Chains A and B, each alone.
With several copies, the nearest count.
Chain A
Amino acid sequence: MLRIVIDRKHCKGCGLCVAFCPKGALCMATSISPRGVNPAEVREEAACVGCLNCTVVCPDAAIEICELEAAD
């Protein structure tokens, strides 16, 4: 299980992560963040395959991803 954390303070809503996510796991919010933009948000965490494309292109290092160990 992957946990995607998008930092609304850093995100400027550029949309690069959304555009380059191969799985459509992310989308742009319709809401406004405190800095006055529509930030990226997680659309469907389960779809994420951990390719890290989103973190690679993010100009603001606003995305962190961690793997949650399956509670076995």
Chain B
Amino acid sequence: MSISYRRPGALIDKVTHYCPGCGHGIAHRLIAEVIDELDIRGRTIGMAPVGCAVVAYDYLDIDMCEAPHGRTPAVATGVKRALPESVVFSYQGDGDLAAIGTAEIIHAANRGENITVIFINNAVYGMTGGQMAPTTPEKVKTTTSPYGRCTETEGYPLKVAELLAGLDRVAYSVRVMMASPGDVRAVREALLKAFRCQMERRGFSIVEILSPCPTYWKLDPVEAFRHCAKEMTKVFPLGVYRDWEETGANQ
């Protein structure tokens, strides 16, 4: 009997607290798969954000650290500078990364901090109950944009992958999504590449993942999945915005 697929070893056998169909669950599984594949469980250190994924350490069987809301890349910097041989990633939501943590992500990226950022862009604050995020698309209603996001007073959604790609020491910046099995496979590839980027000391890498939040998108899980491709990509085009293998950056 040969096994075609089984739960990755770096994923703890515990039922997650995520809602049915939540992208966080998929992202966790993919990270565990990548850690297994690269065989780096013993030297990977993850940063859990404040957000729905706050107890990511309940699910990933690696050393992990909790960071104050938004300071995740700064905490990751502290860990990486202390242990340059370890593989350090920060896992962040759009509130964590693109609102309160704007300064920290920009400066970690600008320094070319040799870490990997996994950015779960679900365009909403999940953990606190569905408030508007910096990435919430125009006109979308949330609990704090009850009349729909108004670009006149609240601006347009922030495009993180593009913004960071403009910084010279960023080695890899990519946007992928969770909208179909193929797309999820692409997410996995992007994560693999980002970790490899770090292991080869290329500098800062970020994988922005358009990720469904069925609960606050008020869609059933399958609709939410499809919504990533249909609506989210209108605002957040997929793509590789920076790639050291192509630009030769930081070689």
Contact = CB atoms under 8 A, between A and B. Distances in A.
Q: Do chains A and B touch in the complex (CB under 8 A)?
A: yes
Given A20-B181, A57-B26, A14 B5 contact: no
B237 interface: no
Interface in A42-67: 50-53, 55-61, 63-67
Given A16-B222, A69-B1, A61 B21 contact: no
Contact of B21 (A10, A16, A52, A68): A16
Contact residues of A: prevailing secondary structure: loop
A61 B61 CA distance: 15
Contacts, number: 86
Contacts of A20: 180-181
Contact of A16 (B3, B4, B221): B221
B218 interface: no
B9 to A, nearest CB: 11
Per DSSP, chain B at the interface is mixed
B148 interface: no
Nearest to A22: B181
B6 interface: yes
A61 B184 contact: no
Contacts of B220: 15
B3 A67 contact: yes
Given A57-B181, A57-B184, A59-B26, A14 B20 contact: yes
Contact of B222 (A10, A15, A55, A60): A15
A11 to B, nearest CB: 9
A13 B25 CA distance: 13
Contact of B29 (A9, A61, A68): A61
A64 B21 contact: no
B22 A19 contact: no
Nearest to A3: B1
Residue among B16, B20, B225 with max Cβ neighbours from chain A (10 Å):
B20
A15 B221 contact: yes
Given A12-B21, A59-B21, A59-B26, A66 B11 contact: no
Contacts of B23: 59
B185 interface: yes
Nearest to B32: A61
B15 interface: yes
A4 to B, nearest CB: 10
Interface of B: 1-8, 11, 15-16, 18-26, 29, 178, 180-181, 184-185, 214, 220-222, 225
Given A66-B4, A67-B4, 9 more contacts: A14-B221, A16-B221, A37-B20, A52-B4, A59-B26, A61-B7, A66-B5, A69-B1, A69-B2
10 contacts: A12-B19, A15-B220, A51-B181, A56-B185, A59-B26, A60-B25, A63-B5, A64-B6, A66-B2, A66-B3
